[in-house]
Each structure stands twice: as structure tokens, then as C-alpha cells.
């Protein structure tokens, strides 16, 4: 008698099974009598090692293990946007409906609504030649996103039977004829999450992702299709930055993968996101957002899978020609899941107990970002931005180090800035963007001519401030030449009136590039004006309470549409400033 697949041993989220039918790496299996979802992650002689995406307590040796013979895949079709999924694309709200807050195990719910009808409009004609990835029609998925329906991979030929109408995602919408064979197409396709979706060509990034966050857009921009890491200690503002980018960045679609430390952090996402308004459209942000949420009380294996689920969905929309911003908060929690599973497998541990392949896994994830030409020749991009939470804020640990090795932007969050309530607490001396050169062209064409000069000038002042402060430590402020006092004066203004930006102020929360330009220009003009009058013998002490300064401090709270007029007022105030004489009163 043929033996049936069954459990041999259980170790937390890892199950060892034997005699599973036709086992292949990454096959999805149903484990135990209640059919928990698991994935084969190792084949070791007769032992088949499975990571299970649900709580394994109560599983016993001898219970059945069945192979589904498919890889861990996501369902791709209209209805993704606005959804809230867990790490293996189960709709959290539907699961909770069925089982209450405590998610039952072995629950079988479809990722997407199979009954809902979508109005499909063909974009090509019957008889047209199509290939994998070709766009054949579209659906209004939400009021802001048109879902392009694409031919699944592996199909090509002549299309037939296309007709406008209302269809569920599994209804036939057309057939593809090839060599006398006919294959039917629906709006639904599957894709294995661990495999990048193919592209024709990858470009070097040339366009910045405009975020409206001054320190990012001005000094440390990330390119569309680029990668960025946000390491920061506890409470330094990682989540707020990710939320700001979700709300304000000029990407078409947001995929937000939340790997929370604490359950309540996730609950916060689940409650705050659906309430967020989209700045561009005035509609709910969820109309262009997909949320993937894991809490610490969800099984670790699902957390491990979540970033793949997220990036696969992002690639799918990229293939329609959209730009996607994918946020992962925090990838440290993901890496810890990897470590836990590796430990259960009794693999040789690398640094700090993380598996030796941590670096490769991190790199593989970020390599899926990019600005690309896809199979249907659309240009789309996935920008990947990962928060990292190094224990104690020390970025010499393996997750930070492996992330920094592959990401090209580093926003270094700083506990001491956060403690001083300087937000965003991005340290301007340690952070960097390796896209700066590649984006220069864009900035030159799309902002003012003198932009890079202003930007570099401002950064130079910040660096000088740092050096001068070291001197101050030795000799005291009073011993400084007036010229250096003036540098400190302007650097302080750059820090407080430009870099500091409140996420919670209705106006300050977003600055367009135009506003950033006028603000930076005002500050640098003031620097020039001050330098000029110092030459007359005016001292910095006389410059503390000028009208120009007051106006510049208030500039961030000036509405976008008034910024041009406001700049004129600043020019007037600067003209007045120049009238200060050495004999003027302080």
C-alpha cells in the first residue's frame, strides 16, 4: 500500500513531514487534519521540511500532509487595491469576520472577491496578436486606478471573443488561439511570490520620487525605482516617515507592508490608513493603497512571506505602467522571522544568530525594485523603502549592515534629534543618497537653474556648523570670529526652519519643489545679505531679531499658492536688513 504524506515532527512553525507526494521546493502543502497552510522550504533525504503559516499548536505526528502542487502564489486581479491582507494574502477583514479577533486556523477564504463583477472594457480588437503581458483591456478598479488586464505568462497567439461587459475575475473574457489550440483568459492570474516578474529592460533611475519632505527631496532624494533604508532606534520616527511617503510621494500606488513589533502598532495602521485622505485626489488613500499587515502575534512564517507578497503585487501593478512605492516597516521583524525559522531548521547560524544567507535574501528583495520596461513595453517602477530597527539603534548589526550594502539611500534617524523633537530626525551629516548625480539632470530641468547651487551651499553651511561647533567646545562661542558666528546663525535657521518639518501640521506636512526652492533661496539670500553687512562692521548679535528672520521662520506655514507673494515680502525684509549699520540698536 502506498504511504500517505504525514507529519513526522513539529518544531514551532517548522514541521517535518515524510512521504509527501511529489514534493518540490516551495510547494504549498496543507498540514494536519485542519489543513494549515505551509510551504516546503527544504528537502533533506526522506524529510520534507515545511514552514507553516499558521499556529501549529496541537498538531501531532501522524496527521496528514497533502501537497497542493503549486508554489506560494498571490492572486492577481481587480480588487487588490483597498485590500488589507496578511502575509500570505488572506484578507484580514474577511478572516476576522469569520473568526473574530482570534484568527482561526485552517480557515479557507479567498484572497479576492470572486463574486464581484467588474466592468471590463477591451483595449484591443479580436484577431490582434498578443503575447504574455499584453494589455487587452481595463477595469475601473477604484475611482483613481485603472486596472490593466494583462495576458498571463506562457500565453501568446490571436485573441478572440473579447467583449465589453461585466465579469467576475474568473469569468472568461477572451480566448487565445495558437496552433489550433484555444486557451481561455480571465482577469485572474497567479504568480509565485518568490519569483520576480520578468521585465525587458532595467533603466538607471533618473527621476526622483518627490515626497514633499524637504530634507529628503532637497538633500537625500530617492529615485523612482530606487531603494532606500531608514534605520532608526525605537521611537525615532521610522513609521511616521513611511506614512508620510505613503501619503505624499508622487507614486501612483502604495504597497505598505507592516511587520509590527506590537499588535497595537498594526492596529494603528489598520485604523489610520483607511481614514487617510489622498492629497492628490481628495479621495481615501486606500483607493490607491494595498496593505499587508502582520503583527507579532501572527505566525512568524507569514511574516517571512509578507515582503514577497508585497513586492509581487507591486510588480504586477508596475507591469501596467504604474509607479509603485513599497514601504516595509520594519524589515528587522522580517529578518527575525527568518532567524527563528533558520534556528528551527538547526542551520549553521551566522552573525548574531541570523542565517548566513540573510545578506542574499535582503539583496534579492531590494533587487526587485527598479524603473523598467516591462513585457508590454510600458514603463513602470517599484521603489522600495525599508525601515530597519536595530536594537539599541546601533547600525553595526547584521540587518542594518546587509541592508545598507544594497540600498542606495540611507536616511539615518538619530535618537538625539528625536529627543530634541527635531523631526524628521534624519541626520544630515550621516545620511546619503547615491542617486544625487543621476538625478541632477532632472532637478536642472524641473527646478530652478540655481537649485543645485543653493542645495550644495546649504549643505556646506551645515557641515561648517559641525566643524565650528567643535571649535566652540574648545574656545567658547564668544571667541569665534563674526563670520563664523554668522555661519552658525544661518545653519540654525536651515535646521529649524527648513529641515524640521511637522508631519502633523496641515500646511507644513508637504512642501512642493517650488516651495522648497523659495524657502531655500530665502535662507541663502539672507546669508548673503548678512555677510554683506558684517563687512560694514555689524555684529551677529545685532541680527538676532530681524524681520527677515521672523518671516523666514514662518515660511513653512505659508500655503503653496501664497508662497510667491510671500517671497516678495521676504525680499523687502532683506532690503531692510541691509540698512542695519554698526551703530544701529540691537
Ligand X SMILES: Nc1ncnc2c1ncn2[C@@H]1O[C@H](COP(=O)(O)OP(=O)(O)OP(=O)(O)O)[C@@H](O)[C@H]1O
Would you tell me which residues interact with ligand X (CB under 6 A)?
A: 232, 234-240, 389, 423-424, 501-504
**Do 519 and 556 meet the contact criterion of CB atoms below 8 Å apart?**
yes
**Do 121 and 137 meet the contact criterion of CB atoms below 8 Å apart?**
yes
Smallest gap from Cβ 289 to Mg ion, in A, equals 18
> In whole angstroms, what is the distance from residue 302 CA to residue 299 CA?
6
Cell reading at 122: 477591451
Q: Which is nearer to ligand X, 266 or 570 (CB)?
A: 266
Smallest gap from Cβ 232 to ligand X, in A, equals 5
Cell reading at 192: 509565485
Q: Which is nearer to ligand X, 269 or 552 (CB)?
A: 269
**Residues facing residue 121 across a β-bridge:** 138
Smallest gap from Cβ 244 to ligand X, in A, equals 7
DSSP letters for 14-40: EEEEES-SS--TTEEEEETTTTEEEEE
Q: Which is nearer to ligand X, 370 or 424 (CB)?
A: 424
**Residues facing residue 360 across a β-bridge:** none
Cell reading at 117: 463583477
Q: C-alpha angle with apex 440: 435 to 443, nearest 5 degrees?
A: 115
Q: Which is nearer to ligand X, 330 or 542 (CB)?
A: 330
Residue 389's binding partner out of Mg ion, ligand X, none, with CB under 5 to 8 Å set by partner kind: ligand X
Smallest gap from Cβ 266 to ligand X, in A, equals 11
Smallest gap from Cβ 379 to ligand X, in A, equals 32
> In whole angstroms, what is the distance from residue 199 CA to residue 311 CA?
14
Residue 235's binding partner out of ligand X, Mg ion, none, with CB under 5 to 8 Å set by partner kind: ligand X
> In whole angstroms, what is the distance from residue 241 CA to residue 216 CA?
10
Q: Which is nearer to ligand X, 420 or 492 (CB)?
A: 420
Q: Name residues contacting Mg ion, limited to 112-141 (CB under 5 A).
A: none
Q: Which is nearer to Mg ion, 144 or 240 (CB)?
A: 240
**At 284, is the secondary structure helix, strand, or coil?**
strand
CA–centroid distance for 163 within its chain? 37
Smallest gap from Cβ 251 to ligand X, in A, equals 19
CA distances from 151 to 132, 316, 376, 377 (A): 5, 12, 10, 13
Q: Which is nearer to ligand X, 48 or 269 (CB)?
A: 269
Closest CA to 162 of 147, 153, 151: 151
What is the H or E stretch that residue 564 is in?
helix 563-577
Residue 236's binding partner out of ligand X, Mg ion, none, with CB under 5 to 8 Å set by partner kind: ligand X
- The counts of H helices and E strands in the chain are 15, 26
Q: Which is nearer to ligand X, 141 or 329 (CB)?
A: 329
| Binding of residue 239 to Mg ion (CB under 5 A) | yes
Binding residues for Mg ion, total number by CB under 5 A = 2
Q: Which is nearer to ligand X, 13 or 232 (CB)?
A: 232
Smallest gap from Cβ 392 to ligand X, in A, equals 11
**At 576, is the secondary structure helix, strand, or coil?**
helix
Smallest gap from Cβ 390 to Mg ion, in A, equals 13
Residue 124's binding partner out of ligand X, Mg ion, none, with CB under 5 to 8 Å set by partner kind: none
Smallest gap from Cβ 398 to ligand X, in A, equals 18
Residue spans of beta strands (DSSP E) within 353-427: 370-373, 379-388, 409-410
DSSP state of 33: T
> In whole angstroms, what is the distance from residue 391 CA to residue 414 CA?
13
Residue 234's binding partner out of ligand X, Mg ion, none, with CB under 5 to 8 Å set by partner kind: ligand X
Residue nearest to Mg ion (CB): 239
SS (H, E, C) 73-99: EEEECCCCCCCEECCCCCEHHHHHHHH
Closest CA to 314 of 305, 304, 323: 323
Sole window of 29-37, 90-98, 103-111, 236-244 interacting with Mg ion (rule: CB under 5 A): 236-244
Residue 502's binding partner out of Mg ion, ligand X, none, with CB under 5 to 8 Å set by partner kind: ligand X
Q: Which is nearer to ligand X, 125 or 396 (CB)?
A: 396
Q: Name residues contacting Mg ion, limited to 274-293 (CB under 5 A).
A: none
Smallest gap from Cβ 329 to Mg ion, in A, equals 6
What is the H or E stretch that residue 203 is in?
strand 201-203
Residue 67's binding partner out of Mg ion, ligand X, none, with CB under 5 to 8 Å set by partner kind: none
**Do 165 and 120 meet the contact criterion of CB atoms below 8 Å apart?**
yes
Residue 232's binding partner out of Mg ion, ligand X, none, with CB under 5 to 8 Å set by partner kind: ligand X
Sole window of 146-154, 235-243, 369-377, 444-452 interacting with Mg ion (rule: CB under 5 A): 235-243
Smallest gap from Cβ 500 to ligand X, in A, equals 8
Q: Which is nearer to ligand X, 169 or 292 (CB)?
A: 292
Residue 87's binding partner out of ligand X, Mg ion, none, with CB under 5 to 8 Å set by partner kind: none
**At 63, is the secondary structure helix, strand, or coil?**
coil
Smallest gap from Cβ 238 to Mg ion, in A, equals 5
**Do 213 and 395 meet the contact criterion of CB atoms below 8 Å apart?**
no
Q: Which is nearer to ligand X, 5 or 237 (CB)?
A: 237
Residue 424's binding partner out of Mg ion, ligand X, none, with CB under 5 to 8 Å set by partner kind: ligand X
Helices 482-493 and 451-475 cross at an angle (nearest 10°) of 120
Residue 114's binding partner out of ligand X, Mg ion, none, with CB under 5 to 8 Å set by partner kind: none
Residue 323's binding partner out of Mg ion, ligand X, none, with CB under 5 to 8 Å set by partner kind: none
CA distance between the termini of the chain? 100
Sole window of 166-174, 231-239, 304-312, 532-540 interacting with Mg ion (rule: CB under 5 A): 231-239
Chain residues that interact with Mg ion, rule: CB under 5 A: 238-239
Amino acid at each position: 500500500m502506498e504511504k500517505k504524506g504525514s507529519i513526522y515532527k513539529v518544531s514551532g512553525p517548522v514541521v517535518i513531514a515524510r512521504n509527501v507526494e511529489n514534493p518540490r521546493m516551495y510547494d504549498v502543502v496543507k498540514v494536519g487534519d485542519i489543513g494549515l497552510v505551509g510551504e516546503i522550504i527544504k528537502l533533506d533525504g526522506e524529510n520534507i521540511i515545511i514552514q507553516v503559516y499558521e499556529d501549529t499548536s496541537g498538531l501531532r505526528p501522524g496527521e496528514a500532509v497533502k501537497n497542493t502542487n503549486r508554489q506560494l502564489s498571490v492572486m492577481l486581479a481587480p480588487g487588490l487595491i483597498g485590500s488589507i491582507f496578511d502575509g500570505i494574502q488572506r484578507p484580514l477583514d474577511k478572516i476576522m469576520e469569520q473568526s473574530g479577533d482570534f484568527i482561526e486556523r485552517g480557515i479557507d477564504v479567498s484572497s479576492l472577491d470572486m463574486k464581484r463583477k467588474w466592468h471590463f472594457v477591451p483595449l484591443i480588437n479580436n484577431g490582434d496578436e498578443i503575447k504574455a503581458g499584453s494589455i487587452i483591456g481595463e477595469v475601473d478598479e477604484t475611482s483613481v486606478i485603472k486596472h490593466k488586464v494583462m495576458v498571463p505568462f506562457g500565453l501568446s497567439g490571436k485573441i478572440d471573443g473579447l467583449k465589453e461587459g461585466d465579469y467576475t475575475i474568473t469569468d472568461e473574457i477572451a480566448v487565445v488561439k495558437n496552433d489550433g489550440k484555444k486557451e481561455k483568459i480571465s482577469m485572474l492570474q497567479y504568480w509565485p511570490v518568490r519569483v520576480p516578474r520578468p521585465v525587458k529592460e532595467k533603466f538607471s533611475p533618473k527621476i526622483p520620487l518627490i515626497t514633499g519632505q524637504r530634507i529628503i527631496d532637497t538633500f537625500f532624494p530617492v529615485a523612482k525605482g530606487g531603494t532606500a533604508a531608514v534605520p532608526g532606534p525605537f521611537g525615532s520616527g521610522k513609521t511616521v516617515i513611511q506614512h508620510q511617503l505613503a501619503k505624499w510621494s508622487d507614486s501612483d500606488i502604495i504597497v505598505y507592508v507592516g511587520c509590527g513589533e506590537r499588535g497595537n502598532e498594526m492596529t494603528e495602521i489598520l485604523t489610520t490608513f483607511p481614514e487617510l485622505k489622498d492629497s492628490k485626489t481628495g479621495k481615501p488613500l486606500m483607493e490607491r493603497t494595498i496593505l499587508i499587515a502582520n503583527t507579532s502575534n501572527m505566525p512568524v512564517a507569514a511574516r517571512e512571506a509578507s515582503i514577497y507578497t508585497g513586492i509581487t503585487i507591486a510588480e504586477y501593478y508596475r507591469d501596467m505602467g504604474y509607479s509603485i512605492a513599497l514601504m516595509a516597516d520594519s524589515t528587522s521583524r522580517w529578518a527575525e522571522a527568518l532567524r527563528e525559522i533558520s534556528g528551527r531548521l538547526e542551520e549553521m547560524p551566522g552573525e548574531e544568530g541570523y542565517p548566513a544567507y540573510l545578506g542574499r535574501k535582503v539583496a534579492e528583495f531590494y533587487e526587485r525594485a527598479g524603473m523598467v520596461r516591462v513585457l508590454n513595453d510600458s514603463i513602470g517602477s517599484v521603489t522600495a523603502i525599508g525601515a530597519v530597527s536595530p536594537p539599541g539603534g546601533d547600525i553595526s548589526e547584521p540587518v542594518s549592515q546587509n541592508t545598507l550594502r544594497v540600498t542606495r539611500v540611507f536616511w539615518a534617524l538619530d535618537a538625539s534629534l528625536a529627543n530634541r523633537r527635531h523631526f524628521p530626525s534624519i541626520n544630515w551629516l550621516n545620511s546619503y543618497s547615491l542617486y544625487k548625480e543621476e538625478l541632477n539632470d532632472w532637478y536642472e530641468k524641473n527646478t530652478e537653474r540655481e537649485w543645485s547651487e543653493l542645495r550644495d551651499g546649504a549643505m556646506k553651511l551645515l557641515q561648517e556648523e559641525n566643524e565650528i561647533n567643535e571649535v566652540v567646545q574648545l574656545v567658547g562661542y564668544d571667541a569665534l570670529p563674526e563670520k563664523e558666528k554668522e555661519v552658525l546663525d544661518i545653519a540654525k535657521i536651515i535646521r529649524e526652519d527648513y529641515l524640521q518639518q511637522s508631519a502633523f501640521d496641515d500646511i507644513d506636512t508637504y512642501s512642493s519643489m517650488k516651495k522648497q526652492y523659495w524657502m531655500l533661496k530665502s535662507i541663502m539670500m539672507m546669508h548673503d545679505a548678512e555677510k554683506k553687512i558684517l563687512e560694514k562692521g555689524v555684529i551677529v548679535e545685532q541680527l538676532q531679531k530681524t524681520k527677515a528672520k521672523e518671516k523666514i521662520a514662518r515660511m513653512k506655514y505659508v500655503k503653496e499658492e501664497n508662497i510667491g507673494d510671500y517671497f516678495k515680502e521676504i525680499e523687502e525684509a532683506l532690503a531692510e536688513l541691509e540698512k542695519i549699520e554698526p551703530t544701529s540698536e540691537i
